[in-house]
Chain A
Amino acid sequence: MAKITLENLAHSYLPNPKSEDDFALKELNHDWVDGEAYALLGASGCGKSTLLNIISGLLHPSQGRILFDDKDVTMSPTTQRNIAQVFQFPVVYDTMTVRDNLAFPLRNRRADPAYIKDRVQQIAAMIGMEATLDRKARGLTADAKQKISLGRGMVREDVNALLFDEPLTVIDPHMKWELRTQLKSLHHEFGHTMIYVTHDQTEALTFADKVVVMYDGRVVQMGTPQQLFETPEHTFVGYFIGSPGMNLLSATVEGNTAVVGGTQIPLGKAFGAPTGKIELGVRPEFTSLASGDEGLPITIKRVEDVGRHKIVRADFNGTEINILAPEGATILPEMNRVIFDPAGINIYSDSWRVAPKVA
């Protein structure tokens, strides 16, 4: 178990990167606190896997340093980093039995056979494969194979960190839930530093203490699920987290009022006079429909009933606005206004959040 520090880390797959665009992973400083569970969340191709492979040593960064407990391991090979990693697609040794698969990492490190026996039994119980321990891994279902991969990742107790690269992609939905819960309890039990890469926000938010959101090779925000929900630091976070994501409207802001398409919207906080491309962001959860003269004029396009609430898709001057209405609410055709709760409004300048001025 170790604290992992990334110092000015960046990576490009090109031999001679020139501009910032050539970097798959842009310069990054970050500390992974010992014993925390992190989720690395982002769309495909945003550099999540690159970052993970740099930490595990499968890839050497173009610049910067990686420290494990303040010891430089930037150029150390994977084998010296004592890391466990589970990949997106199951990797099992086909010709070995399930038992040998689980024991393999321990045997390669010459652990005591009696200890291996106990530990394998323990892991098998955790992944629910005690009954199939003596079967060959060949011919098992993808589910079962991925459980073996997970088990092989967890079998070593002394690892510096456990890395998961979208490990539940091939697993059945109900099994996903179960395995994720097990991973979490495992984390509580052993206190490994865990980094879990995913593009599924539910997975990230339920698994991790802290979620690291990546966008276009950059870490745009790190925070608890609540922080990501309430104060997205970047419009991407607002849009990516939440279902549906945050509404974004072009605006001009002065003091504690925003003007969106000629309508004044009270912000409840002072923002001064931010410059750049200004956008007002508000989550559908902080909006409500109204009729009358107050609020932003909109036209309702359609209503989707998702069971626990209704999603109203509305249009404002060609921009789509999503509004969340309670399940029991009646939505009337004359409702032509939307009102934003000032508590849920964030202001963005060039996609980055503007902090309100403390009065």
Chain B
Amino acid sequence: MNKAVNQKAWFLILPVLLLVAFSAVIPLMTVVNYSVQDTFGSNKFFWVGLEWFEEMLASERMWNALGRQITFSAIILAIEIPLGIFVALNMPKKGFWASLCLVLMSLPLLIPWNVVGTIWQIFGRVDIGLLGYTLSALGIDYNYTQDFYAAWITVIVMDVWHWTSLVALLAYAGLQSIPDAYYQAAKIDQASRLSVFRFIELPKIMGVLMIAILLRFMDSFMIYTEPFVVTGGGPGNSTTFLSIDLVKMALGQFDLGPAAAFSIMYYLVILLVSYVFYTVMTNLDKRDGH
């Protein structure tokens, strides 16, 4: 087949190219620029090569933040994914209650992130917060501004409250798409409830579940606003996740070079993990094909 060659077609992608250039490529290149230079002020920069990267890779501060970040993402995924599936399985399938559930479930997703932070910051306060006050009244020593565990639990519970809905809604959509005949066949085959989940529901929602895991991983790995509003990264550095640390370094200390190197590595980690997820997802359907 002969394809018509028409170089003018390049003009058609020009608007997108410009948009992407200004919104992504140029800012990213600025960061790359910072990461290989140093300055002593007055806008004079000089070349330092990969020094910042070496320094960052050797920095205990960065490794600690990364460790906290991975721990946080792992914990919230381990809670939100099973919990979301469980909620979806128990939601009504149709009628008034199904609609009500859907609306209630989407509410947390509609609240701006800093507001979520503020809600939980107040909710957890020992003096005026409902949660903090109740726990104290029950004699439980709870103070997220001073106690390491209290801070972590607050941040995790907040994230679970905010985002489990997303997993539940995606899983629910997946479950709704399973034709009735599957459940009927399972009854006729005398399959147990567990088998129905294992062999019918789980395989059918695997696709959306992968998307849910990917979204939750990316979002939690980049989390900034909520913990920043609630704990400000404290007590000490205990809830200083990667992005909080990065902002402290870049804007608090104005160490642009190290912060840029740091953020490029951070970006690469997210890119790598997302790529792995993408590969797994696209291979999910092809698997066992032959």
Q: Does A220 contact B (CB under 8 A)?
A: no
CB 8 Å contact bits of A90-104 with B (1 = contact, 0 = none): 010111100000001
Q: Is the CB of B288 within 8 A of A85?
A: no
Interface residue from A77, A85, A96, A135 paired with B185 (Cβ < 8 Å)? A85
CB-nearest residue of chain B to A94: B203
> What are the residues of chain A within 8 A of B204 when measuring CB–CB?
94
| Distance of A91 Cα from B287 Cα, bound (Å) | 19
CB-nearest residue of chain B to A85: B188
Q: Is the CB of B203 within 8 A of A88?
A: no
| A79, A83, A109, A149: residue with the most chain B Cβ atoms closer than 10 Å | A79
> What are the residues of chain B within 8 A of A89 when measuring CB–CB?
179, 181
The B contact surface, by secondary structure, is helix
Q: How far is the CB of A153 from chain B (nearest CB, A)?
A: 8
| Distance of A93 Cα from B286 Cα, bound (Å) | 16
> What are the residues of chain B within 8 A of A87 when measuring CB–CB?
181, 184-185
Q: How far is the CB of A133 from chain B (nearest CB, A)?
A: 14
Q: How far is the CB of A41 from chain B (nearest CB, A)?
A: 21
Q: Is the CB of B188 within 8 A of A84?
A: yes
Q: Is the CB of A78 within 8 A of B200?
A: no
| Distance of A94 Cα from B192 Cα, bound (Å) | 17
Q: Is the CB of B181 within 8 A of A138?
A: no
| Distance of A83 Cα from B286 Cα, bound (Å) | 34
CB 8 Å contact bits of B168-204 with A (1 = contact, 0 = none): 0000000000010110110111111001000110011
Q: Is the CB of A139 within 8 A of B190?
A: no
Contact A138:B289 (CB < 8 A) given known A93-B200, A94-B203, A95-B199? yes
> What are the residues of chain A within 8 A of B199 when measuring CB–CB?
93, 95-96, 104
| Distance of A95 Cα from B192 Cα, bound (Å) | 16
CB-nearest residue of chain B to A149: B185
Interface size range of chain A in the complex: 20 to 34
Q: Does A136 contact B (CB under 8 A)?
A: yes
| Distance of A104 Cα from B186 Cα, bound (Å) | 10
Q: Residues of B within 8 Å of A, CB-based: how many?
A: 21
Q: Is the CB of A108 within 8 A of B192?
A: yes
Q: Is the CB of B288 within 8 A of A135?
A: yes
Q: How far is the CB of A168 from chain B (nearest CB, A)?
A: 15
Interface residue from B191, B286, B287, B289 paired with A108 (Cβ < 8 Å)? B191
Contact A108:B288 (CB < 8 A) given known A58-B184, A91-B181? no
Q: Is the CB of A152 within 8 A of B288?
A: no
List CB contacts (< 8 Å) of B43-81 with chain A: none
Interface residue from A79, A96, A135 paired with B187 (Cβ < 8 Å)? A79
> What are the residues of chain A within 8 A of B288 when measuring CB–CB?
135-136, 138-139
CB 8 Å contact bits of B248-290 with A (1 = contact, 0 = none): 0000000000000000000000000000000000000111110
Q: Does A56 contact B (CB under 8 A)?
A: yes
List CB contacts (< 8 Å) of B151-170 with chain A: none
Q: Is the CB of A56 within 8 A of B188?
A: yes
| B179, B195, B199: residue with the most chain A Cβ atoms closer than 10 Å | B199
List CB contacts (< 8 Å) of B2-26 with chain A: none
CB 8 Å contact bits of B197-237 with A (1 = contact, 0 = none): 00110011000000000000000000000000000000000
Sorted nearest first, the 5 A-B pairs with minimum C-beta distance are A136-B288, A91-B185, A78-B187, A139-B289, A105-B189
What are 14 A-B interface contacts by the 8 Å CB criterion? A53-B184, A57-B187, A58-B187, A85-B184, A87-B181, A89-B179, A91-B181, A91-B184, A91-B185, A94-B203, A94-B204, A104-B191, A136-B287, A139-B288
